[in-house]
Amino acid sequence: MERRVLDIATGRCYLSKKRGSLSVASSADTAEASERLVPFDEIESIIVHTPQASYSNSVVVELARRGIPLVCCDAYHTPAAWLWPVQANYEQSRRMSAQANLPDDLRASLWAILIRTKLEAQATVLHNQNHDPSPLHELAHRVSADNCTLLEAQGARWYWTRLFGDEFRRRRDGPGPNGLLNYGYAVLRATVARCVCATGLHPSLGLQHHNRFNAFCLADDLMEPFRPAVDRTVLGLWSRECQNVDAEAKSDLVAVLARGVNTDRGIAPLSRCIEWAAQSLTKAVLERRPHISLPDGRSIVG
């Protein structure tokens, strides 16, 4: 049986231990008061977004005893802290030790997988906009552990100028659609960061991104192949002359994560695909094999 990631996003709730299960009870002073029991054996991890959540000490201790990650997120839905048991947690230690000692050749191979899929997804975005995608397909075909960062940069120059014109430059503080892209990527990054923390990997130990001021280097790595899904939505907003990050834009960009994606397990929300990618990356780190479970680039964009 596949264990579940519990995502507690809204409302006032109280988490406690009850009859060998996690109890998630909504506030008793609301008309919607309710209680849900989830057996601990069925839980992969717990992610809490709502600022109105509270916890019993017994449930925190039980989660720590079982090695179930509890990820607490801030107002921007980015992990602020996660539960790490004080007593020996051999599985947690094994994962972080394997991650910290990842061989350079495997690190490069995993990064190449991410960039290859990103280039394929970018090619699909161009194709959908009636631009020639063949240069990006060619770059994706040439990607190897030795050259992927260089080819990614070459692809970016072709990609952005075809989408938004020769004068466009992708910069966080740039004009034009940069603001929309920034917001969409921030939403995506928060989701990837939560999934990474939930797997037991340390988010600051990246494959390619390395910055002592960045707590989420690994999330920045893993989000790369999913960025074109945001680009596709920004193009739609831009074509409707929606140039500011207003309520309409926010709604459309948040909805990217709920869009159905064709996978070898059937149609699943993009957010679920990110969970699977994070889980498979953990397995790759532990088993020392170059594999990440990703939808193909065409499916990511749709």
Per the structure, the count of domains in the chain is 2
Whole-number Å distance between alpha carbons of 272 and 261: 9
C-alpha separations of 87 from 17, 92, 93, 107, 273 in Å: 20, 11, 11, 30, 32
DSSP 175: S
Question: Which contacts of 135-142 are long-range, i.e. CB under 8 A and separated by 24 or more positions?
Answer: 140/116, 140/297
| CATH assignment at residue 217 | 1.20.120.920
Lowest mean pLDDT among 21-35, 38-52, 160-174, 188-202: 21-35
Which residues, other chains included, contact 154 with Cβ-Cβ below 8 Å and sequence gap of 6+? 139
Whole-number Å distance between alpha carbons of 150 and 185: 22
103 and 49 in a single domain? The answer is: no
134 and 270 in a single domain? The answer is: yes
pLDDT tens digits, one per residue of 175-199 = 879 889 998 998 899 889 888 888 8
**pLDDT score for 90:** 65
Decide if 177 is inside a domain.
yes
Looking at 87, 111, 129, which one is the last position of a domain? 87
278 and 235 in a single domain? The answer is: yes
**pLDDT score for 28:** 54
Looking at 87, 121, 152, which one is the last position of a domain? 87
Decide if 274 is inside a domain.
yes
Domain limits for position 66: 4-87
Packed helices 247-255 and 178-199: angle between N→C axes, nearest 10 degrees: 40
Give the pLDDT band (50/70/90) at residue 33: low
Token pair belonging to 64: 């720590």
Looking at 32, 62, 87, which one is the last position of a domain? 87
| CATH assignment at residue 44 | 3.100.10.20
Q: Is the pLDDT of residue 295 over 90?
A: yes
Is the separation of the CB atoms in 46 and 4 below 8 Å? no
